[in-house]
Chains A and B, each alone.
Chain A
Amino acid sequence: MSTPTVHSLWTTAAEPISKIDAPKIEYAQLSPTLIVIGAAVLGILVEAFVPRKSRYYVQAFLAIVALAAAFAAVVGLAAGGYGTTKAHIAAMGAIAVDGPALFLQGTILLAGLVSIFTFAERRLDPEVHGNRVDSFAAQAASVPGSDSEKAAIKAGFTTTEVFPLALFAIGGMLVFPAANDLLTLFIALEVFSLPLYLLCAVARRKRLMSQEAAVKYFLLGAFASAFTLFGIALLYGYAGSVSYATVASVVDGSVTTVDPALADTMGNDALLLIGMALVVMGLLFKVGAVPFHMWTPDVYQGAPTPVTGFMAAATKVAAFGALLRLLYVVLPGLRWDWRPVMWAVAIVTMLAGAIVAITQTDIKRLLAYSSIAHAGFILAGVIATSPDGVSSVLFYLAAYSFVTIGAFAVVTLVRDAGGEATHLSKWAGLGRRSPLVAAVFAVFLLAFAGIPLTSGFAGKFAVFKAAAEGGAGALVVVGVVSSAIAAFFYIRVIVLMFFSEPKADGPTVAVPSPLTMTTIGVGVAVTIVLGLAPQYFLDLAGQAGVFVR
């Protein structure tokens, strides 16, 4: 040490700069995301190089195989113990591989898979110029009603880009609940949001409405992202790091050293509180909690119905996953600050969703408000801040996803000359004409309403139980009251379908291909299995309910 060292010209500084490590990436553990993103990139290449005629088949095949493979990878990781004993932080601290992440990724992948089936459905609309068509615009870029649109329709074009877009969105969603630093969180948010904005815009029918929905969603989404980003900046200012673990350590006071460059801001609680509120707000926007819910009905109504189903299910899973991780890993030390605010949000969300849904006349808007109310119920579980709270939320998300996708898949079947007949008055007497479809929809509605023997009951019970045990009894009371209000409009639809006279010019029920049938069948099966025997899956969620830090 005492021997003077010969320094080169570049290393004469007083302190040697730290060595730059090559990033260590655990490819195998990130494989679910990598497979999906890889397939999405491949999908772009398919768009570029595969002849138009075979693109649909190649894209659908690619998407389905990729999602199935990614799901297999998730199952493999879970079986390998990465959900429990081997849970750790991968990719240089950017991504967590743990129980909640794997459980949510599995849910997102399965939900994505059954959604892709509805994306690929081509038997519902009548053939146009001898070409089978799906729910998406012939050429999204053509102006609605223009000659180029007509030409595209005549040529039998379809927007096969929806498959890679959906895969990108799913890829982002897979990262979102696993993100372990604030920047990864933000990037994942954008990666899954941008494709969704686009997907909303590409409906085949009612294109203007679809585009309006997409623009609204995009503008409000960008607005919310700005809040989130600002919040991240403030948190960085507070903690001197974007890593969850570091922020958490600063919050609970176990790290006291102050980065000299941030000496003015570090440890300033105002930054922490405002930053936390803004980041949480961005996530609440994504789950559709009041007062950040207003995009939901418009977007759900305008988007192509398969996209609505996908978005309603998968986005909620991803966003709640991220919210859980943020609140449980980063901000547990602050729970006395965020719990009262979240209480208020949950109460307002449950009540507003249920109450406004009562006067809805469009089935898609009705389901949108229903999803708002459900966001409130799930928030009740989030607020429990207990392991039971986590597992109940995980279970609820899984149960809710399949009910939602199934319900929207049924909506795609009920059609008249103008496409889907979404006005409720047209659903009158559906049970007389198509008892099976109406019965299936009734099952989904009962699950939404939380009637026993459906997954909805098991989920709601788990969430409310966790909330009550977590000291949020009042929240449970409000939850039950809103459930009662919500039951009114769900059951009203059932009454409408089964006990009203069918209208003479009522819609017909299209016979779908096995794809949509699979989606609906899986939805019904999951709804009933989780309703009859929830314990196995509750246990599974319980095992998966521990976050790694």
Chain B
Amino acid sequence: MENLIALLVAAPLLGAAVLLCGGRALDRVGHLLGTLLAAGSFVIAVVLFSDMLGKSPEDRTFSQHLFSWIPVEGFQADVAFQLDQLSMTFVLLISGVGTLIHIYSIGYMEHDERRRRFFGYLNLFLAAMLLLVLADNYLLLYVGWEGVGLASYLLIGFWQHKPSAATAAKKAFLVNRVGDMGLSIAIMLMFTTFGTFAFGPVLDSVGDTSEGKLTAIGLMLLLAACGKSAQVPLQSWLGDAMEGPTPVSALIHAATMVTAGVYLIVRSGAIFNAAPDAQLVVTIVGAVTLLFGAIVGCAKDDIKKALAGSTMSQIGYMVLAAGLGPIGYVFAIMHLVTHGFFKAGLFLGAGSVMHGMNDEVDMRKYGALRKYMPVTFVTFGLGYLAIIGFPGLSGFFSKDKIIEAAFAKGGTEGWILGSVALLGAAITAFYMTRVMIMTFFGEKRWQPDAEGHEPHPHESPSSMTIPMIVLAVGSVFAGGFFSIGDRFLNWLEPVTGHDHGHAPISAGVVTGATMVCLVIGVGIAWLQYGRREIPVVAPRGSLLTRAARRDLLQDDFNHVVLVRGGEHLTRSLVYVDHTLVDGVVNGTAASVGGLSGRLRKLQNGYVRSYAVSMFGGAAVIVAATLLMRAV
């Protein structure tokens, strides 16, 4: 049974190879083949899952050693897989949501002539992402990590004819490089500290290592997580990444890839547990991003960018939870899974809306769509209720747990983090209600597109609606299913461990406070957008609004500090290179050349001069030899 693990990765990898190398002949069946292989991966995952359920919790770690990758004295890198409960959760999420989004894309990309290539990239992404979560060592994880980065780059820039898409892809790639650097440094630090980078040996020997080293490794891992999961300060790429086709935004930039950072932190839990300073930084990053994303989400009129802000914010919750240590690991992953459902559903809904509205993304030009797109409205609405944490739906359970855990951290930290999480819940309710109202309620504010076509909103084909329905079901029930009887906690605890912490206030109070926040958020949004006419052209807005529309000036900050700073640095380096380094080099070359010119004059062609030189040389040698002895 364990030998099936490699197939999980191999199936989509084969799909990617066939689709990308196959050529035009596969244009007509490529999308079906890609979907089939993704589904195949999911089926294998389900088989493995049922097998795993049949075993006692201690025996649920499967492993498969494929081959020795770099067998060198003192450096052993293997291609080996480890499938435990944590990996299994991810595998099911990735292959399940992945398959749904493959199906959705069949309809969504129907008119795109490069559809085969698109499915090839999607398959490549699945293979890389599965490799990332299945690897049993950090080096192989790094391969998957880079693989998803590549797939993300290719898919963001899929419509490369649009300069904005090409730029966005480049931006995502560059920002991610910073994070990747963190991961590679972390791996190097692990190798020098532990002599290996396999999960087992590294995480088991944490106890014998100094806290300073662990903190360094932890911070580098956090840097990696920030890049991949769009956390402050490496968050700037995610909004632009929405240039990619919407299924990509749903799969990669909402449900799976961007959560890789959370996986990395939870997987490396042992390191963080032993490095409280690194943990504190993790929680700070999570809390800041949580608010940052939420505020950005409030101001965006582009439906996908509003959702992207929301994604950032929700991942902020997960990172915050992961930074809490054993109190929060399980809830980080649980929120990750439920978020995978409802955020993917929301994105697919957004894609469905765009599909019906001539690819319009500005919510100010939507309105009243509930009558025209009932399925989209209902599924999107369920996703909306889930994300704001409406009682009984998925988000309610998972987010509530994180807020509780934040308070349970204890001390001032606990109060601050808990309050931030609560505030985030209120803002989430606000911006999601705003999206909901602007899109589906109110009056029609439809505008003809650039070529003068009036939009004729209509429901999307069933290949698109069915995945939305499935995800909506998950959005509604997953949280409850996981939480009742602590199913999810019991499932993951053997891997991540769990600790209840010391909550200063009872769970009931936290839930009550969350509900109050929810009502406040929804209420304000209703007052602002539900009761009043929504202008088609965005009003100027307050200073904060304007800043939030510009992503809280992230790009301006990066430009001034990093780009300008970098330019100045390189300019000064170039100056030093030209004057000092080249001066020395050219000076040396010139003096050698000059010496050469003078020396060659000695070679005058007269035998008599040559003979004198020989005689002189002989005299010197004889004299020197005698002198040596004399000295």
Contacts and interface: CB of A to CB of B under 8 A. Distances in A.
A219 B614 CA distance: 12
Contacts of A344: 624
Interface in A71-109: none
A457 interface: no
Given A274-B622, A358-B593, A337 B628 contact: yes
Given A219-B611, A295-B610, A356-B596, A281 B621 contact: yes
Contact of A294 (B613, B624, B629): B613
Interface in B573-604: 589, 592-593, 595-597, 599-600, 602-603
A269 B596 contact: no
Given A337-B629, A358-B592, A359-B593, A281 B610 contact: no
Given A355-B592, A355-B596, A292 B625 contact: no
Interface residues of B, number: 28
A356 B600 contact: yes
B617 interface: yes
A295 B608 CA distance: 11
21 contacts: A273-B622, A274-B625, A277-B621, A277-B625, A278-B622, A280-B621, A290-B617, A294-B610, A294-B613, A294-B614, A337-B629, A341-B625, A345-B621, A352-B599, A355-B595, A356-B596, A356-B600, A358-B592, A358-B596, A360-B600, A488-B589
Interface residues of A, number: 40
Contacts of A276: 625
Contact of B607 (A219, A291, A338, A359): A219
A269 B600 CA distance: 38
B626 interface: yes
- Tell me the interface secondary structure of chain A in the complex: helix
A517 interface: no
Contacts of A270: 626
A220 B621 contact: no
A352 B616 CA distance: 17
A277 B617 contact: no
A167 to B, nearest CB: 28
Contacts of A336: 628
A326 to B, nearest CB: 14
A285 interface: yes
Given A278-B618, A291-B617, 17 more contacts: A220-B607, A220-B614, A223-B611, A270-B626, A291-B616, A291-B620, A292-B614, A292-B617, A336-B628, A337-B625, A341-B621, A345-B621, A355-B599, A358-B592, A358-B593, A359-B596, A359-B597
In this complex, the member of A215, A276, A352, A356 whose beta carbon has the largest number of chain B beta carbons within 10 angstroms is A356
Interface string B289-320: 00000000000000000000000000000000
In this complex, the member of B595, B613, B618 whose beta carbon has the largest number of chain A beta carbons within 10 angstroms is B618
A281 B618 contact: yes
B605 interface: yes
Interface of B: 589, 592-593, 595-597, 599-600, 602-603, 605, 607, 609-611, 613-614, 616-618, 620-622, 624-626, 628-629
- Tell me the interface secondary structure of chain B in the complex: helix
Nearest to B610: A294
Contacts of B605: 298
Interface string A352-390: 100111111000000000000000000000000000000
Interface in A261-290: 269-270, 273-274, 276-278, 280-281, 285, 290
B599 A356 contact: yes
A206 interface: no
A224 B614 contact: yes
B614 to A, nearest CB: 5
A220 B620 CA distance: 18
A273 B616 contact: no
A485 interface: yes
A340 B610 CA distance: 24
A20 to B, nearest CB: 39
A297 interface: yes
Contacts of B617: 281, 290-292
